[in-house]
Amino acid sequence: MTHPLVSFLAFQVCWFACVGGAARGLPWIGPLTVAAFVAAHLWSTPRGRLRAAQAWLLGLTGAIGYVADSLLVISGVLRFPPQAALGGPAALWMVALWMVQAATFSGAMSWMAGRFTVGAVFGAIGGPLAYLAGERMGAAFLGPTHAVAIGVVAVEWGLAMPLLLWIERRARSGLSTARLETPGPLVS
């Protein structure tokens, strides 16, 4: 789903399914919604190396998100109310959000491709805002104080966003290299 508007709307639907579902005691709604979106995203991606690169990007982003948010939970910066907990230490719906974020790199966030400084600023501002919105909806708690939590989340996303953009760029450049080295079409 590379059309920017479709990608943006899908991200919004997935975000509200994850956060709203968790806040209402249905933390599994978000991951199911994200799984449907990821399946549609991969299905709409041409078969072959491009689809494999997208699947790799999404899986690696999910793993990075799990580790990063688990560190927030272990350090006490992020907590989940009982109705929002699913998995642990990081909630499964939080990991799903990381994957949706990566899926938007070829659509709604394609303007950020290769712009690592912009990605760092975007992540440092957008990350805390998203976590604060999740807290306001009742899906998570930030602590020990908001100032500390916002600072830590800003650092997390200020580092994560350029890293994810770099990983996405490497996946794309690997495809370009493969195209040059291998005769025939890139997609099968």
Residue 156's pLDDT is: 95
Residue 179's pLDDT is: 44
Is it true that the peptide bond before 144 is cis, omega within 30 degrees of 0?
A: yes
- Dihedral sign computed on CA atoms, order 120, 56, 105, 130: negative
Q: Give, as one character, the DSSP assignment of residue 46.
A: P
Residue 106's pLDDT is: 74
Angle, CA 188 vertex, CA 64 and CA 186 arms, to 5°: 70
Q: Do 141 and 79 form a contact (C-beta atoms < 8 A)?
A: yes
Closest-CA residue to 169 (of 113, 104, 122): 113
Residue 155's pLDDT is: 96
3-state class (DSSP) for residue 187: strand
* pTM for this model (two decimals): 0.83
CA distance 9 to 15: 10
Residue 97's pLDDT is: 94
Please report, in tens digits, the pLDDT of each residue of the chain (188 residues total). Answer: 567 788 789 889 999 999 999 999 999 999 999 999 988 888 887 777 777 888 888 889 999 999 999 999 999 999 999 888 888 899 999 999 999 988 888 777 777 777 888 989 988 999 999 999 999 999 999 998 989 999 999 999 999 999 999 988 887 776 544 443 443 333 43
For the chain, give every domain's residue range: 4-181
Residue 1's pLDDT is: 55
Q: Give, as one character, the DSSP assignment of residue 142.
A: E
Give the position of tokens 């249905």. 26
Q: Tell me what percent of the chain is helix, strand and coil, each rounded to the nearest 5.
A: 75, 5, 20
